[in-house]
Structure 1
Amino acid sequence: MMDNLRAAANNVVLKILLALIALSFVLTGVGGYVAGGGGDYAAEVNGQQISRAQLEQAVQNERSRQQESMGAAFSTLASQDGYMQQMRQQVLSQLIDETLLDQYAATLGLAISDEQVRQAIFNIPAFRTDNKFDNAKYRAMIANMGLSADQYAQLMRKQLLTQQLIQGLAGTGFMLPEETERLLSVAVQSRQARLATFDIDALAQKQTVSDDEIQSSYQQNKEKYLSPEAFQVSYLMMDAAAIMDKTTVSDAEVQSYYDQHQEQFAQPARKRYSIIQSNTEADAAAVLDQLKKGADFATLAKEKSSDAISGKNGGDIGWMEEGSTVEELQKAQLNDKGQLSGVITSSVGFLVARLDDIQPQQVKPLAAVRDQVAAKVKQEKSLDAYYAEQQKASDAASNDNESLESAQAAIGGKIVQTDWFTRDNLPEALNTDAVSQVLFNGSLLGSNGAPSNNSDLVTLDGDRALILRISGHRPESIQPLEKVRGQVELQVKREKAIRQARVDAQKLLVSLKQAKADDALKSAGIAFSDGQTYDSAMQNDALSRAIFALPQPQQGKPSYGMSEDAKGNIVLVALESVTPRKLDDQQRGQFVSQLNQGMTGVTFDALINDLRSDAKIKMGSAAQMQ
Structure 2
Amino acid sequence: MMDRIREGSTGLVVKIILGLIIFSFVFAGVGSYLVGGGQPLAAKVGEREITRNDFEQVYQNERNRMQSQLGEYFSTLLGDPAYVEQFRKSVLDRMVNDALLDNQAQDLGLRVGDEQIRQAILSMPQFQKDGKFDEEIFNISLRRAGFSSDSFAEYLRQDLVRNQLILALESTEFTLDNEVKAQGALEAQQREIRTITLDTAAFSKDATVTDEEVEEYYNANKQQFVRPEQVKVSYVELSGDSLKAQAPITDEEIQTYYNENQDKYSTQEKREVSHILIKGDEADAQAVLARLDSGDDFATVAKEDSQDIPTAKEGGSLGWIERGVIDPDFEDAAFQLVNVGDHSGLVKSTFGYHIIQLDGIEAPKTKALAKVSAEIKAFLVDEHAADAFYSLQTELAEKAFESPDSLDDAAESVNVKVMTSDFFSETDAPKLLSNPSVLQAIYSPEVKEDGLNSDVIEIAPEHIIVVRVEDVRDEIVQPLNEVKESVIARLSQSKGEQKALELAQGAISALNKGEMSYLTDNGLNFTQARMITRADELANNVYRLQKPEQGKSTYAQMMDRQGNNVIVALDGVLELSNDAMAEQVSTRLLRSQTQQDLTATLDTLKVSTDISYPLLEQ
TM-score scaled to structure 2, two decimals?
A: 0.52
CA gap 1:147/1:475 in 2 versus in 1, 3 angstroms: farther
Q: Is the 8 A contact 1:558 1:576 kept in 2?
A: yes
Name which of 542, 564, 571 aligns with 1:569. Answer: 564
> Using the alignment, how far apart are the partners of 2:389 and 2:171 within structure 1?
63
Spell out, residue by residue over 1:125-146, the C-alpha distance to the aligned partner (whole angstroms, 9 max, x if none): 3334565545554344223223
CA gap 1:55/1:562 in 2 versus in 1, 3 angstroms: farther
Q: Is the 8 A contact 2:80 2:437 kept in 1?
A: no
Alignment of 1:527-566 (within 5 A): 527-536=524-533, 538-539=535-536, 541=537, 543-566=538-561
> Using the alignment, how far apart are the partners of 1:466 and 1:78 within structure 2?
12
> Using the alignment, how far apart are the partners of 2:603 and 2:561 within structure 1?
43
Corresponding residue for residue 111 of structure 2:
111
Alignment of 1:209-608 (within 5 A): 209=213, 211=215, 213-214=217-218, 217=221, 219=223, 420=422, 447-449=446-448, 452=453, 480-482=477-479, 483-484=482-483, 486-487=485-486, 490-491=489-490, 494-495=493-494, 498=497, 502=501, 505=504, 509=508, 512-513=511-512, 515-518=513-516, 525=522, 527-536=524-533, 538-539=535-536, 541=537, 543-579=538-574, 589=580, 591-608=581-598
Corresponding residue for residue 338 of structure 2:
none
SS at match of 1:606: helix
Structure 1 residue 197: deviation in Å?
A: 3.4
Corresponding residue for residue 123 of structure 1:
123
> Using the alignment, how far apart are the partners of 1:82 and 1:454 within structure 2?
21
> Using the alignment, how far apart are the partners of 1:85 and 1:453 within structure 2?
24
Alignment of 1:111-190 (within 5 A): 111-128=111-128, 133-135=133-135, 137-175=137-175, 180=180, 182-190=182-190
Q: RMSD of aligned C-alpha atoms?
A: 5.7
Spell out, residue by residue over 1:552-580, the C-alpha distance to the aligned partner (whole angstroms, 9 max, x if none): 32212112233211220122211112345
> Using the alignment, how far apart are the partners of 2:498 and 2:147 within structure 1?
58
Spell out, residue by residue over 1:389-444, the C-alpha distance to the aligned partner (whole angstroms, 9 max, x if none): 99999999788655787799999x996867749999999xxx9x9x9999969889
Q: Is the 8 A contact 2:79 2:437 kept in 1?
A: no
Deviates more, 1:399-408 or 1:190-199: 399-408
Structure 1 residue 171: deviation in Å?
A: 4.6
Structure 1 residue 226: deviation in Å?
A: 7.2
Structure 1 residue 598: deviation in Å?
A: 0.7
Question: What amino acid is aligned across from residue 570 of structure 2 in structure 1?
Answer: L
> Using the alignment, how far apart are the partners of 2:96 and 2:243 within structure 1?
50
Alignment of 1:30-49 (within 5 A): 47=46
CA gap 1:475/1:510 in 2 versus in 1, 3 angstroms: farther
CA gap 1:471/1:101 in 2 versus in 1, 3 angstroms: closer
Question: What amino acid is aligned across from residue 84 of structure 2 in structure 1?
Answer: M
Corresponding residue for residue 86 of structure 2:
86
Structure 1 residue 77: deviation in Å?
A: 1.9
Corresponding residue for residue 99 of structure 1:
99
TM-score scaled to structure 1, two decimals?
A: 0.51
Structure 1 residue 508: deviation in Å?
A: 5.0
Structure 2: state its 5+ residue gaps. Answer: 2-39, 253-384
CA gap 1:103/1:414 in 2 versus in 1, 3 angstroms: closer
CA gap 1:241/1:119 in 2 versus in 1, 3 angstroms: closer
CA gap 1:614/1:492 in 2 versus in 1, 3 angstroms: farther
Question: What amino acid is aligned across from residue 535 of structure 1 in structure 2?
Answer: I
Q: Is the 8 A contact 1:230 1:475 kept in 2?
A: yes
Corresponding residue for residue 322 of structure 1:
none
Question: Which structure's CA Rg is the greater one?
Answer: 1
Q: Is the 8 A contact 2:79 2:436 kept in 1?
A: no
In the alignment of these two chains, the number of paired residues is: 427
Q: Is the 8 A contact 2:456 2:465 kept in 1?
A: yes
> Using the alignment, how far apart are the partners of 2:507 and 2:473 within structure 1?
46
> Using the alignment, how far apart are the partners of 2:464 and 2:170 within structure 1?
57
CA gap 1:162/1:620 in 2 versus in 1, 3 angstroms: closer
Q: Is the 8 A contact 1:192 1:577 kept in 2?
A: yes
> Using the alignment, how far apart are the partners of 1:424 and 1:236 within structure 2?
24
SS at match of 2:551: coil
Q: Is the 8 A contact 1:72 1:436 kept in 2?
A: no
Question: What amino acid is aligned across from residue 160 of structure 2 in structure 1?
Answer: L
**Higher relative contact order by CA 8 Å / sep ≥ 6: 1 or 2?**
1
Question: What amino acid is aligned across from residue 158 of structure 2 in structure 1?
Answer: K
Structure 1 residue 61: deviation in Å?
A: 3.6
Structure 1 residue 603: deviation in Å?
A: 1.9
Corresponding residue for residue 21 of structure 2:
none
Corresponding residue for residue 293 of structure 2:
none
Question: What amino acid is aligned across from residue 145 of structure 2 in structure 1?
Answer: M
Corresponding residue for residue 72 of structure 2:
72
> Using the alignment, how far apart are the partners of 1:86 and 1:398 within structure 2?
30
Structure 1 residue 163: deviation in Å?
A: 3.1
SS at match of 2:543: helix
> Using the alignment, how far apart are the partners of 1:574 and 1:195 within structure 2?
6
Q: Is the 8 A contact 1:75 1:441 kept in 2?
A: no
Corresponding residue for residue 462 of structure 1:
none
Question: What amino acid is aligned across from residue 223 of structure 2 in structure 1?
Answer: Q
SS at match of 2:447: coil
Structure 1 residue 195: deviation in Å?
A: 1.9
Spell out, residue by residue over 1:124-171, the C-alpha distance to the aligned partner (whole angstroms, 9 max, x if none): 233345655455543442232233333322322233234333444445
CA gap 1:520/1:535 in 2 versus in 1, 3 angstroms: closer
Q: Is the 8 A contact 2:195 2:526 kept in 1?
A: yes
Q: Is the 8 A contact 2:196 2:527 kept in 1?
A: no
Sequence identity (%): 24
> Using the alignment, how far apart are the partners of 2:151 and 2:577 within structure 1?
51
Corresponding residue for residue 335 of structure 2:
none
Structure 1: state its 5+ residue gaps. Answer: 2-39, 245-256, 258-385, 459-464
